[in-house]
């Protein structure tokens, strides 16, 4: 289902960079729909805005137990991500800090519900870190991701050093960013989280780096 911009007003801060593209509902949130040609573009080189998907953080020594009590499977060590059976990604940023990314399957409904239902209990060493307004969320796809990001990132993100499920807390285009290898054998995907206020700048920097590989923006439908 495609929507015009008049149907809803809650859209990503990056929407205008798509040039008034048609929208689609995923769960209760709006995303750029994309076109039929986006599936081929994803394999070549694509940039997708996921900033409207829910996400949240937790920090504290009781965070692991809290998340496990909610049914989440956790990474074994820091700087790793674990894909959940329902599509969420759980990133472990340190021994006691986690970053949860919503699933395309339910439009992030599980993450949104967990955030809305979270309550702090006295004596509980776990603290909610709202991330919806602090971080923008982008996805890069295609066969040339290590070469592409080598232009804007000093960390080796090649397959041998940065396998599926790896997390890098690094600098991308001189911005602090989190990079996650969230790909599959069929489709390489890196997900990037950065300061929301700098999202327009990073979008432009990535598009510039993508030109050599025929990269273009794409909508969410093909990624689903």
pLDDT value at position 138?
A: 97
Residue 85: C-alpha distances to residues 46, 90, 188, 191 (Å) = 25, 11, 19, 18
Residue 221 and residue 45: Cα distance in Å, rounded?
15
Helix (H/G/I), strand (E/B), else coil: 185: coil
Domain boundaries along the sequence of the chain: 15-52+133-223, 55-130
**Proportion of the chain in helix, strand, coil states, percent, rounded to 5:** 25, 30, 45
- CATH dotted code for 15-52+133-223: 3.30.1360.120
Kindly give the pairing relationship between strand 55-59 and strand 127-130.
antiparallel
* Confidence (pLDDT) at 5: 42
Q: Distance (Å, rounded) from C-alpha 198 to C-alpha 196?
A: 5
DSSP per-residue letters across 101-157: E--TTTTTHHHHHHHHH----TT---EEEE-TTTEEEEEEESTTHHHHHHTT--S--
Q: What is the pLDDT along the chain (224 residues), one digit of tens a residue?
A: 444 444 445 778 888 888 878 898 888 888 998 876 788 899 999 999 999 999 999 999 999 999 999 999 999 999 999 999 999 999 999 999 999 999 999 999 999 999 999 887 767 889 999 999 999 999 999 999 999 999 999 999 999 999 999 999 999 999 999 999 999 989 999 999 999 999 999 999 999 999 999 999 999 988 87
Report the alpha-carbon distance of residue 52 to residue 29 in Å, rounded. 7
CATH of domain 55-130: 3.30.70
Residue-by-residue DSSP string for 168-180? EEEEETTEEEEEE
Largest CA distance in the chain: 54
Contacts of 197 (CB under 8 A, 6+ apart): none
d(CA 198, CA 51): 13
- pLDDT score recorded for residue 122: 63
Q: What is the pLDDT of residue 36?
A: 65
What's the CA angle centered on 162, arms 160 and 168, to 5 degrees?
155
Report how far residue 72's alpha carbon sits from residue 103's, in angstroms, rounded to the nearest whole number: 13
Could you tell me the strand order of the sheet in which 135-141 lies? 167-172, 175-181, 189-195, 135-141, 46-49, 216-217
| pLDDT for res 34 | 80
């Amino acid at each position: 289902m495609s929507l015009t911009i008049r149907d809803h007003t809650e859209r990503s801060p990056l929407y205008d960079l798509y040039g008034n593209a048609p929208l689609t509902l995923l769960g209760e949130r709006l995303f750029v729909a994309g076109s039929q040609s986006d599936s081929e573009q994803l394999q070549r080189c694509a940039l997708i805005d996921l900033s409207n998907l829910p996400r949240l953080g937790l920090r504290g020594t009781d965070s692991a137990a809290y998340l496990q009590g909610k049914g989440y499977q956790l990474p074994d060590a820091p700087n790793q991500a674990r894909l959940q059976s329902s599509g969420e990604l759980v990133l472990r940023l340190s021994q006691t800090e986690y970053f949860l990314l919503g699933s395309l399957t339910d439009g992030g409904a599980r993450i949104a519900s967990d955030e809305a239902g979270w309550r702090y209990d006295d004596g509980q060493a776990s603290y909610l870190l709202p991330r919806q307004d602090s971080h923008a969320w982008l996805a890069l796809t295609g066969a040339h991701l290590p070469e592409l990001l080598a232009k804007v990132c000093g960390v080796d993100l090649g397959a041998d050093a940065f396998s599926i499920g790896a997390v890098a807390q690094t600098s991308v285009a001189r911005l602090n960013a989190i990079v996650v290898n969230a790909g599959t054998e069929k489709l390489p995907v890196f997900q990037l989280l950065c300061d929301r206020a700098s999202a327009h700048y990073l979008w432009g920097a990535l598009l510039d780096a993508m030109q050599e590989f025929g990269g273009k923006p794409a909508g969410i439908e093909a990624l689903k």
